[in-house]
Each structure stands twice: as C-alpha cells, then as structure tokens.
C-alpha cells in the first residue's frame, strides 16, 4: 500500500452506554461468566472511545441502554443504516433478541424507514461498507441468505465472505474498512474462497498477523485517516502508520471480556446512501 496523505471525513455514529454491562452467559469464546467483570471500568473504556470520536469532530448519538441486556453496549450489531433506511438486526441468540425493539423504536422516532431483518443478521457486526460494496460475513451469526435480503433492501451489491474461526465470529473482528479503497484483515479467519475474493478486490490490503487478530486489532473504526483500534496490535499499528493512517490505541480490556472491542461499540449511520 502506497504511503499517501490521508484525509478524514466527518462521520455520524450511534453508541449505547454500558450501563448494564456484565458477562452472565457465554455466546462466544471470549465470554466466561465465571470471571468477574467491572462495570465501572467498562464505562470508563467506553467513555474514552466516545470522547475520542467527538474530539475528532464526529457526531455521536446515543441509544438508551435497556435493563437486562448486558451486550447492548455493542451497538454495531444493532442494525445496518444507509441514507434514510435502517435494517435492524435479528439476533441468532435469544439472549440478545430484546435489543432489536430498542433499535426499531430509535430509528422510527427519527423518521427513518425501518424494518427488522427476516433472517438472522447482526448488523454492522457482519455488514461493512467498503467502496461500492457491502462486505458481508456469514458462518456464525449471520445467515448467508440475509445477504440477498440486505442487497435488495439497500439496492447495493453485497459481497459474501465466510468466517471459519469461532474466535472471529463477526466480520468486524476479522476485517476493517479503512476508507473507500483500503481494508485490513486476517486471512486465516476466512475460507480459501473468501480469501481469494479479498485478494482480488483489495490487492493492497494490510494483512494482520495472528497476534494482531487475537488482540482484536481489526475491530477498528476509521474515518479515512484516524483509526481507533484496541491496543496491542503492534504489527497493524506499524503498517497503518507506514500507509499514512494515524492509529489511536484504545484500552478495551474489560469490554473484551464479552468479546467486544472498539468497532463493536460503534454503529456508523451512513447518512448518505452510497452512490449507485
């Protein structure tokens, strides 16, 4: 990837405070209900992410956290949004089902055209904008058939990618879109066929090591220049700097107890629908 002067664009995000954060069940390999969590630490880590986005000039809205839903802090899973249309998640695990009404109500109250997905679909956890495409994960949380549903709802081409490592159960744990043309990803999280697709579409992508991926370094948010990402992904950090991006490490150690990082906490509201 050529080193160039990167330019950021202001973004619109949605977050949910971790008011009810806890690990009381296990629906991914990172979760262990037997280990204690500290809600105050989780809140501090979340607040730093929120404040960093605001300091960079981005707009951050908040969806109210609902009691009894400890994973609602991971707002990225709540929906996929382009322009005035929102497709709200249909969670694969019953523990998160009750999050969807909160998102349906929030988007409807703001005048968006909103509906809940018919098939299992966990929002931006598995649907990421990259140039003219929506890159879509499947294999653990999102039904492959939902890719067609999403493509038809938004009228945008969806590129399906299959995940094979349960530690990287959402696309946003294994891949991050840096700008319209560049991504970073961990090849071993995908099938060989999906790796081939990514090499063809993004020949200059930044490649993560296993250590980067284990540190959740790919669970990142980029505004085209600044990349907010979990601390500890040393190789990715060096590669991003070499490519002209400005990585900003964030402590997500407590949030990671529930299998979430920076991107998991942030749903991007694409106020303008991608050009056709």
Q: Is residue 217 part of a domain?
A: yes
* Residue 188 contacts residue 163 (beta carbons within 8 Å): no
Can you count the helices (H) and strands (E) in the chain? Answer: 6, 15
Domain that holds residue 139: 12-268
pLDDT band at 4 (very low <50, low <70, confident <90, very high): confident
Residue 165 located in a structural domain: yes
How far, in Å, CA of 19 to CA of 72, rounded?
9
Smallest Cα–Cα separation from 250: which of 241, 262, 233?
262
Q: Is 170 a catalytic residue?
A: yes
192 pLDDT exceeds 90?
Answer: yes
Q: Is residue 109 part of a domain?
A: yes
Q: Which of 50, 170, 226, 265 is catalytic?
A: 170
What confidence tens digit (pLDDT) does each residue in 221-232 have?
999 999 999 999
Count of structural domains, the chain = 1
pTM of the model: 0.96
Give a yes or no: residue 5 inside a domain: no
Q: Is residue 6 domain-resident?
A: no
Within-domain flag for 276: no
pLDDT band at 43 (very low <50, low <70, confident <90, very high): very high
Residue 3, domain member (yes or no):
no
CA pseudo-torsion sign 32, 35, 39, 44: negative
Q: Give the model's pLDDT for residue 271.
A: 86
CA angle at 57 for the pair 231 and 172, rounded to the nearest 5°: 40
**Would 273 be classed as within a structural domain?**
no
- Could you give the C-alpha distances from 107 to 15, 67, 83, 155, 197, in angstroms and in order? 13, 19, 12, 19, 33
In this structure, what CATH number is given to the domain that contains residue 129?
Answer: 3.75.10.10
Catalytic-residue membership of 264: yes
Tell how strand 12-15 and strand 267-268 pair up.
antiparallel
* Predicted confidence (pLDDT) per residue in 63-85, tens digit: 999 999 999 999 999 999 999 99
Q: How far is CA 119 from CA 76, 141, 241, in A?
A: 17, 11, 39
Rounded Cα–Cα distance for residues 117 and 92 (Å): 11
Q: Which candidate in 58, 147, 226, 264 is catalytic?
A: 264
92-115 confidence digits (pLDDT tens): 999 999 999 999 999 999 999 999
Measure the CA–CA gap between 259 and 114, rounded to whole angstroms: 28
């Amino acid at each position: 990837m050529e080193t160039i002067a990167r330019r950021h664009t202001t973004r619109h995000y949605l977050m949910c405070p971790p008011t009810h954060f806890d690990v009381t069940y296990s629906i991914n390999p990172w979760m262990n209900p037997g280990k204690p969590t500290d809600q105050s630490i989780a809140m501090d880590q979340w607040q730093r992410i929120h404040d960093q986005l605001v300091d960079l000039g981005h707009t951050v809205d908040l969806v109210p956290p609902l009691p009894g839903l400890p994973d609602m802090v991971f707002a990225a899973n709540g929906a996929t949004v382009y322009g005035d249309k929102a497709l709200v998640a249909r969670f694969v695990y019953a523990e998160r089902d009750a999050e969807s009404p909160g998102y349906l109500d929030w988007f409807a109250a703001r005048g968006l055209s909103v509906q809940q997905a018919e098939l299992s679909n966990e929002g931006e956890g598995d649907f990421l904008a990259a140039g003219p495409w929506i890159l879509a994960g499947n294999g653990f949380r999102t039904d492959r058939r939902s890719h067609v549903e999403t493509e038809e709802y938004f009228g945008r081409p969806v590129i399906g990618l299959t995940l094979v490592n349960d530690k990287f159960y959402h696309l946003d744990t294994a891949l991050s879109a840096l700008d319209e043309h560049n991504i970073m990803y961990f090849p071993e999280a995908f099938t060989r066929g999906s790796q081939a697709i990514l090499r063809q579409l993004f020949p200059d992508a930044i490649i993560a090591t296993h250590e980067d991926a284990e540190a959740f370094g790919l669970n990142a948010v980029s505004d085209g220049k600044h990349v907010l990402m979990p601390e500890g992904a040393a190789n990715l950090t060096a590669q991003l700097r070499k490519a002209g991006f400005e990585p900003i490490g964030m402590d997500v150690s407590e949030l990671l107890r529930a299998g979430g990082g920076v991107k998991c906490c942030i749903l991007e509201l694409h106020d303008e629908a991608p050009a056709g």
